[in-house]
Amino acid sequence: MRTSIATVCLSGTLTDKLHAAAEAGFDGVEIFEPDLVASPASPEEIVALAGRLGISLDLYQPFRDAEGVTEDEFETVLRRARAKFVLMQRLGIETMLVCSNVGTATIDDDAVSADQLRRMGEAAAEHGVRIAFEALAWGRYVDDYRRAWRIVELADHEAVGVCLDSFHILSRGHDPAAIEEIPGGKVFFLQLADAPALSMDVLSWSRHHRLFPGEGAFDLGSFLTHVLRTGYDGPLSLEVFNDVFRQTEVGRTARQARRSLTWLEDLVGSRPLPPVAEPTGFDFVEVRAEDTGEVDVLLGQLGLTFRGRHRSKDARLWADGPARIVCNEQHARDRTPSLAAVGFQVADPAVSAARARALQAPTVYRRTLATEQELPAFRAPDGTEVFLGSGSGGEATWAPEFEGGRTSGAALLTGIDHVNLAEPWQCFDEAVLFYSSVLGLRVDVSQEVPSPHGLVRSQVVRSASGACRLALNVAPLVWDASSGFPQHVAFSTDDVAAVARRAVERGLVPLAIPQNYYDDLVARFDLSRAEVREMAELGLLHDRDGAGTFTHFYTATVGEVFFEVVQRVDGYDGYGAPNAGVRLAAQDPDR
Amino acid sequence: MRTSIATVCLSGTLTDKLHAAAEAGFDGVEIFEPDLVASPASPEEIVALAGRLGISLDLYQPFRDAEGVTEDEFETVLRRARAKFVLMQRLGIETMLVCSNVGTATIDDDAVSADQLRRMGEAAAEHGVRIAFEALAWGRYVDDYRRAWRIVELADHEAVGVCLDSFHILSRGHDPAAIEEIPGGKVFFLQLADAPALSMDVLSWSRHHRLFPGEGAFDLGSFLTHVLRTGYDGPLSLEVFNDVFRQTEVGRTARQARRSLTWLEDLVGSRPLPPVAEPTGFDFVEVRAEDTGEVDVLLGQLGLTFRGRHRSKDARLWADGPARIVCNEQHARDRTPSLAAVGFQVADPAVSAARARALQAPTVYRRTLATEQELPAFRAPDGTEVFLGSGSGGEATWAPEFEGGRTSGAALLTGIDHVNLAEPWQCFDEAVLFYSSVLGLRVDVSQEVPSPHGLVRSQVVRSASGACRLALNVAPLVWDASSGFPQHVAFSTDDVAAVARRAVERGLVPLAIPQNYYDDLVARFDLSRAEVREMAELGLLHDRDGAGTFTHFYTATVGEVFFEVVQRVDGYDGYGAPNAGVRLAAQDPDR
């Protein structure tokens, strides 16, 4: 299907927006009136630019407060509308969005609204254009698409149809099934937006928090299916008001937007992608720095074994069973340690890579020699490189390229439990869409965790099996600006106390946890003083959910990286969120 | 009355918070449990530090999910409570906050809750402490302070009282008048918070958006009056969860918090301040730069007359009637032009200054020679220097200090209509409190205006008469970070077209307004093509509200400063908000 995007979704000037939409692969745009009004480019220049860029101008929007008014008022409405119809002719735009009246309606009568829309339609037809009537979720009288359609039916004019907007319908909880009762030829336009599940007034929700499809909580797959069953064959068009997208780089937002429609078309089966395959485990995590020495020491203390240097690259592999960390000093001048890449094990890397490419994930290129495994790789929105490997569990197909190390001894670590990534605030929603659409990770719990410098927002995305879990963390602005927000890898084990004890014997100084925390543990849980004393000696933290328990400890931070070791018992399914505030206070760089 | 603040209001570690509270002049603090748990300082160290700083530890909080539970559950509650009572003894804290149950309540019965609170009270009394029961706005069964009081009455134990929190009561719209039915001796604690009028779920509203008294929309004066009538004589304590305050500099937030209580005590008459006097007009606005030359040129084009150089300072005065701009090159090395100071005319500067000092507004010192007027001055949270002068209208008492210029000719400007100030996002709420508490300006309309780089939040504060209007603007993060967000002075006139024409003749190039804007004006308003053509030639913009009209134009930006000239007709009371997006697009530094 054709794709389109409203210019209000994007930052910059109108011409910036047209360039970005075209470059991201959209077929057309909706012209948001304030963008045109503020543009120094004439309508003729806009048409010429769109022509050169190969995009169409699909909709002129919005026209407000048109119907349900007195006859006196309606005269002004018609004058205003005629001026816009002339402008639309100059722009070569066929359809104008007419919103249900919010400000000036005084007559709550379908017949009056229908009569006024019919007369607007007659005027539109004189100019060779048409109007698409949309029920705003906060329309004064018309706030339901079913009523908007009744009014359009009554108006009974070929230049009068409806515009359907997923936000206005789903935010109100209206059943979209009745969309199928509208003939496709009367659905003049379709606007798509997702949104997070928020409990707030619908106007603020709409104006500030809309998201691209796949980034929020709406069931857009079933919504779109209802619309397609009408026979609608106009564009799938995005209309997303979002405070973040309004200020971030226009090209990036346009590509993110385009990806959301690719995902949605796959979801409804209208343009299938290579199938999604949930990762079955972490293949490796890579730490990159000019000198990873301190990280190597930490890994040794935690019980990972040095498995060797890479044949052709300046990288070392550390492993314990399926827990694998690559320390990479390639192309890392002046870099302090940070998490640079995460490898996932998938059933068929070639298929997953084809899906990633179809979703416009930017490819990462690394020099690979003929004798080496070539892992497809893509760059996530936060800059993390995502590699796709075909190994499983303890096996990594590329491990033999690392030579000169030892094989592991008795494995105490059982793998990588989860990886915590720092997300710049500009990237958060795009990251959620990336990890869910490319890798099929599911959106799980979201938490806000207090730190000494503000709340940290933490969103987990994970595979259904729990084999791969990522926590996406947005740091408070002040922390984010003053120093990199630390990222970490959490290793899993069946005996966290043993891992901690061995690590301490090898010289590890665990992150210092205050005695006050342990006093509180005694108050909260049925733990003996002796149990808690051992925890305190090893820097262990503890949490419970239902029947399950979670015991874990942290290393100090090196550069922007630290490590955690966790033991889940009896199906504990969280991440120790009640302890995160204690951890963040202990990690406070200003402490 | 004694004042206190919950540590959760402030950023940093627990010891940072104690220092900041003491330095800001609070008498005590509430210890927020997670702050203690995350602190490496032992309870004894905290007590010793508080002793040295001269602040008391007034409350331990919160204790959750205590009552309305099964007997089995209640055993665990009592065990947990006893551990906290021991801790309170170590801390020397007399009162613990017990919140109404959110998570574990299964029994909706006042008698059960009362019995359980009574037993907690007995345990508390054994440790020499007491509990204050508070109805959370989202408590599962107990969500109204009147019910919490009934339960406390039923519990009938000397160690069981209520805690009143303005947020939990006012957010639900509960009438605070019934507070007076509670005996003062049973009000164990009082927590104060303001909040903006938001329509969202009360939990998110409470956790993220609370404000200090005077910064929001709650009527805290009448709330506190009801509480004081009970005979309550404990501290006025602030408990404000706010995403911004959690991450901004702790000392600054503490001073802001303390100011809010000073304002509130004045409001209810318990500790009166020198009276507030609304300013009667702008005395002057000062532009500071190493070289203000370009600004001088603009002012001359707009019709202001050079009135002379200051006797002893490197400053020049430009005026037209009561519109006065001081161009100051003193102490301005490397500075590009910015708005540095705003002078207000007040009935008695000494009284207003005494009020400002009592509200802890930081004093600004400037060298003043014996023969010169000494204007009291204070620094607003955004850094703007606020001067208090005694002149009125066309008279400025200090104007004779400027020598060697000309007197004005025929005045076309009638004064300063409003001043737009840029507010860093960290300062916004504090700025609102500053301008309202110190100068008595009232909170007026709030708008969100689109710019090519995101939404600009604009809050007007003004005198009742309209003689002084300030628009406080928070720029989108991206714009704010990349270059200073421009500030401006709007001059008023009764003939904006004449001012514009004269300015253009003198060489002014008005801010370029797109032709598309004028086409839209024709569609929106009943204006002739000829009228609009003249507007376009002069760069005039136009708006209407009810009967009134507003016509205005902008200069280009020099450094971070530009000017506007506005003509209000027939009582137009806004600021041309519908045109602000066009202006911001035209000012886009990336354009």
What DSSP assignment string belongs to A535-561? HHHHT-EEEEETTEEEEEEEPPPBTTE
Nearest 10 degrees: Cα torsion A460, A464, A467, A472: -10
Min Cα separation A411/chain B (Å): 33
Residue A526: how many other CB atoms lie within 10 Å: 9
Answer whether B197 touches A (CB < 8 Å): no
Nearest 10 degrees: Cα torsion B217, B221, B222, B227: 120
- The tokens describing B287, both together, are 């532009």
How far lies A389's CA from each of A221, A280, A345, A353, A431, in Å?
30, 10, 5, 10, 21
Spell out the residues 6+ positions from residue A432 whose beta carbon is closer than 8 angstroms to its own: A215, A443, A459, A461, A472
Residue whose entry in the numeric block shows the structure tokens 């190969």: A54
Is residue B455 within 8 Å of B448, Cβ to Cβ? yes
Chain B 56-85, residues with CB within 8 Å of chain A CB atoms: 79-80, 83-84
Q: Which of B201, B204, B523 sits opposite A83 (nearest CB)?
A: B523
Residue A47 has pLDDT above 90, yes or no: yes
Q: How far apart are CA A422 and CA A505, in angstroms?
A: 31
The pLDDT of residue B366: 78
Residue A408 has pLDDT above 70, yes or no: no
Spell out the residues 6+ positions from residue A376 whose beta carbon is closer than 8 angstroms to its own: A349, A350, A352, A353, A356, A363, A387, A388
Question: Crossing angle, helix A515-524 and helix B71-91, to 10 degrees?
Answer: 150
Q: How far apart are CA B286 and CA B328, in angstroms?
A: 7
The pLDDT of residue A372: 81
Answer whether B589 touches A (CB < 8 Å): no
Residue B406: how many other CB atoms lie within 10 Å: 9
CB within 8 Å: A586 and B38: yes
CB within 8 Å: A477 and B477: yes
- The tokens describing B315, both together, are 């400053």
* Long-range Cβ pairs for the range A171-177 (8 Å, 24+): A171/A137, A171/A195, A171/A202, A171/A205, A171/A206, A172/A137, A172/A143, A172/A144, A172/A202, A174/A144, A174/A145, A174/A146, A176/A222, A176/A223, A176/A226, A176/A227, A177/A226
3-class secondary structure, A470? strand
Q: Which residue of B has its CA nearest to A36?
A: B516
- The tokens describing A282, both together, are 């972490």
Low-confidence ranges of chain B (pLDDT < 70): 368-370, 408-410, 480-483, 591
Residue A293 has pLDDT above 70, yes or no: yes
Chain A 569-588, residues with CB within 8 Å of chain B CB atoms: 581-582, 584-586, 588
Sheet holding A281-288, edge to edge: A377-379, A385-389, A338-345, A281-288, A323-328, A315-320, A305-310, A402-404
Spell out the residues 6+ positions from residue B33 whose beta carbon is closer than 8 angstroms to its own: A520, B60, B61, B62
CB within 8 Å: B243 and A455: yes
Min Cα separation A80/chain B (Å): 5
The pLDDT of residue A481: 62
Phi-psi region of A539 (alpha: psi -120 to 50; beta: other; left: phi over 0): left
Residue B500: how many other CB atoms lie within 10 Å: 25
Residue A97 has pLDDT above 90, yes or no: yes
Min Cα separation B406/chain A (Å): 40
CB within 8 Å: B247 and A586: no
Question: Which amino acid does the sequence have at A158?
Answer: E
HSE of A489 in the Cβ direction (CA atoms, 13 Å)?
A: 27
Min Cα separation A523/chain B (Å): 5
CB within 8 Å: A477 and B476: no
Confidence bin at A393 (pLDDT 50/70/90)? confident
| Residues of chain B contacting A31 with CB distance shorter than 8 Å | none
End-to-end CA distance of chain A, in Å? 56
Strand pairing class (B236-238; B187-192): parallel
- B551-566 residues labelled b (16+ CB within 10 A) or e (exposed): bbbbbebbbbbbbbbb
- The tokens describing B233, both together, are 């004589």
| Residues of chain B contacting A87 with CB distance shorter than 8 Å | 519, 523
The pLDDT of residue B482: 62
Residue A335: how many other CB atoms lie within 10 Å: 17
Q: How far apart are CA A267 and CA B11, in angstroms?
A: 45
Answer whether B516 touches A (CB < 8 Å): yes
CB within 8 Å: B84 and A523: yes
| Residues of chain A contacting B479 with CB distance shorter than 8 Å | 247
CB within 8 Å: A199 and B198: no
> Region A120-131: what's the mean pLDDT?
98
CB within 8 Å: B515 and A42: yes
Per-residue pLDDT tens for A532-590?
Answer: 999 999 999 999 998 899 999 999 999 999 999 999 999 999 999 999 999 999 998 77
Strand pairing class (A454-462; A469-474): antiparallel
| Residues of chain A contacting B448 with CB distance shorter than 8 Å | 207
- CA nearest to A457, candidates A414, A427, A498, A489: A427
Answer whether B520 touches A (CB < 8 Å): yes
Q: Which residue of A has its CA nearest to B482?
A: A247
Answer whether B544 touches A (CB < 8 Å): no
Chain A 251-310, residues with CB within 8 Å of chain B CB atoms: none
| Residue from B10, B19, B36, B37 whose CB has the most chain A CBs within 10 Å, to mutate | B37
HSE of A386 in the Cβ direction (CA atoms, 13 Å)?
A: 27
| B331 is annotated as contributing to ligand binding | no
Q: CATH for B3-267?
A: 3.20.20.150
Answer whether B514 touches A (CB < 8 Å): yes
- The tokens describing A310, both together, are 């890479």
Question: Comparing A98 with A526, which gets the higher pLDDT?
Answer: A98
Min Cα separation A394/chain B (Å): 38
Spell out the residues 6+ positions from residue A310 whose beta carbon is closer than 8 angstroms to its own: A316, A317, A401, A402, A403
Min Cα separation B506/chain A (Å): 25
Min Cα separation A41/chain B (Å): 8
Which parts of B498-554 are beta strand (E)?
541-545, 548-554
Identify the DSSP state of A498: H
Q: Which residue of A has its CA nearest to B515?
A: A40
The pLDDT of residue A409: 67
CB within 8 Å: B514 and A38: yes
Q: Which residue of B has its CA nearest to A45?
A: B516
CB within 8 Å: B84 and A586: no
| A418 is annotated as contributing to ligand binding | yes
**Peptide bond between residue B62 and the one before it cis (omega within 30 degrees of 0):** yes
Q: Which of B87, B448, B591 sits opposite A13 (nearest CB)?
A: B591
How far lies B56's CA from each of B48, B93, B294, B587, in Å?
11, 8, 56, 53
Strand pairing class (A28-32; A3-6): parallel
Answer whether B509 touches A (CB < 8 Å): no
**Peptide bond between residue B272 and the one before it cis (omega within 30 degrees of 0):** no
Confidence bin at A482 (pLDDT 50/70/90)? low
Radius of gyration of chain B (CA): 28
| Residues of chain A contacting B518 with CB distance shorter than 8 Å | none
Question: Which amino acid does the sequence have at A246?
Answer: R
Q: How far apart are CA A24 and CA A12, in angstroms?
A: 15
Structural domain spans, chain B: 3-267, 281-587
Answer whether B529 touches A (CB < 8 Å): no
Give the angle A320-A326-A329 at the CA atoms, nearest 5°. 150
- CA nearest to B98, candidates B135, B123, B68, B143: B135
| Residues of chain A contacting B34 with CB distance shorter than 8 Å | 450, 581
Main-chain dihedrals φ then ψ at residue B272, nearest 5 degrees: -65, 145
Neighbour-count burial of B244, counting CB atoms closer than 10 A to its CB (0-12 exposed, 13-18 middle, 19+ buried): buried
CB within 8 Å: B34 and A450: yes
The residues that bridge with B211 in the sheet, in sequence order, are B194
Residue A410 has pLDDT above 80, yes or no: no
Spell out the residues 6+ positions from residue A287 whose beta carbon is closer than 8 angstroms to its own: A295, A325, A326, A327, A328, A337, A338, A339, A340, A561
Is residue B436 within 8 Å of B448, Cβ to Cβ? no
CB within 8 Å: B40 and A512: yes
B281-587 fold? 2,3-Dihydroxybiphenyl 1,2-Dioxygenase; domain 1 (3.10.180)
Main-chain dihedrals φ then ψ at residue B413, nearest 5 degrees: -85, 140
CB within 8 Å: B453 and A13: no
Identify the DSSP state of A119: H
| A286 is annotated as contributing to ligand binding | no
- A141-174 residues labelled b (16+ CB within 10 A) or e (exposed): bbbbbebbbebbbbbebebbbbbbbbbbbbbeeb
| Residue from A87, A516, A517 whose CB has the most chain B CBs within 10 Å, to mutate | A516
CB within 8 Å: B512 and A450: no
The pLDDT of residue B181: 97
Confidence bin at A395 (pLDDT 50/70/90)? confident
Question: Which amino acid does the sequence have at B581?
Answer: G
Answer whether A36 touches B (CB < 8 Å): yes
